[in-house]
A = this chain, B = another copy of it.
């Protein structure tokens, strides 16, 4: 008989309207679960010990009653919350994965998860951890995971930057924004970011090498702030927030500008009728702008190219990556909620177990 362990789970209690609160989620005490697959799972299933969980803004979209269209299926009240994470394989009937392997991909907000096909397709083996030149395991929730590929695809593939162009990044100290800023600098662009606190703005300037930065909460006129930072206008906008910021950006774009629409975090907690009005779309014609929405799963095939490109920059210290690590599964709901209030400084993740604990 297989050894057993205690499995705590974070479930969604009810669909969320407005901002998510802790009472929308619940940490259920442990149930005993076997540390081997039982044979009842569908072929290709994988049992993992979760080590790190990622808190990402898109998760809010899965917490709404599934009325509005989304690219992602809603969570089911009473069921465990799922998201990106890093885990150790304990047992596997997926021929790609063996016990002891480290993986990143879609897992559950719980100590142990059985990942079933087709979700197992999102589990990728981690090969660049530990030893000389290895990256921290937690980076696979960030720079080496979904946010990293998101930043790369959005900036390099969708915006096709040229040296000397100007780049604006909103939510610029976040999981994706801090990377876009640094990628822009590497591409020879002039890059400006905005964030929501003095501490974050300082981080943009000193840690991530943004050429300029501002605190959007202290700017009474966003369009004027952008004019000040970009007297010649913006060639590329990496859009993470939407709403009033997008409206201000539209007024400041240059002819043939490109806007990669990655996310609209300012709008995720608003009912349809509360969403910010965007009124400056006439700039799209006048300036021949391109707005392109994208999501990382459409571009998974680019991960190997991205990983090969980014690893040397991580190893030689060219790229910085700032994480905001919450400790313990019990802190996960609060950490996720914090994203929507800008409480995180850098990539928000949750450490739920030391890798050493897995005995690997």
A277 CB contacts on chain B under 8 angstroms = 277-279
Q: B285 and A261: CB pair below 8 A? A: yes
Which residues of chain A in 252-291 are interfacial with respect to chain B, using CB atoms and an 8 Å cutoff?
255, 261-264, 267-268, 272-273, 275-291
User: Given contacts A287-B71, A288-B294, A293-B288, are A279 and B282 in contact (CB under 8 A)?
Assistant: no
User: Given contacts A71-B288, A291-B291, are A279 and B278 in contact (CB under 8 A)?
Assistant: yes
- Nearest B-chain residue to A246, judged by Cβ: B281
CA distance A293 to B292 in the complex (A): 12
Distance from A310 Cβ to chain B, minimum over Cβ atoms (Å): 23
Judge whether A298 is part of the interface by a CB distance below 8 angstroms. Answer: yes
Judge whether A242 is part of the interface by a CB distance below 8 angstroms. Answer: yes
Task: Encode A33-71 as 1/0 by CB contact (under 8 A) with B.
Answer: 000000000000000000000000000010000000111
How many copies of this kind of chain does the complex include?
2
Number of residues from A at the complex interface, CB < 8 A = 38
Q: A298 and B288: CB pair below 8 A? A: yes
Task: Encode A314-339 as 1/0 by CB contact (under 8 A) with B.
Answer: 00000000000000000000000000
Query: What are some 23 contacts across the A-B interface (CB < 8 A)?
Result: A69-B283, A69-B286, A69-B287, A71-B288, A242-B281, A261-B285, A263-B285, A264-B281, A267-B282, A272-B280, A275-B279, A275-B282, A276-B279, A277-B277, A277-B278, A277-B279, A278-B281, A287-B293, A288-B295, A288-B298, A289-B291, A290-B290, A290-B291
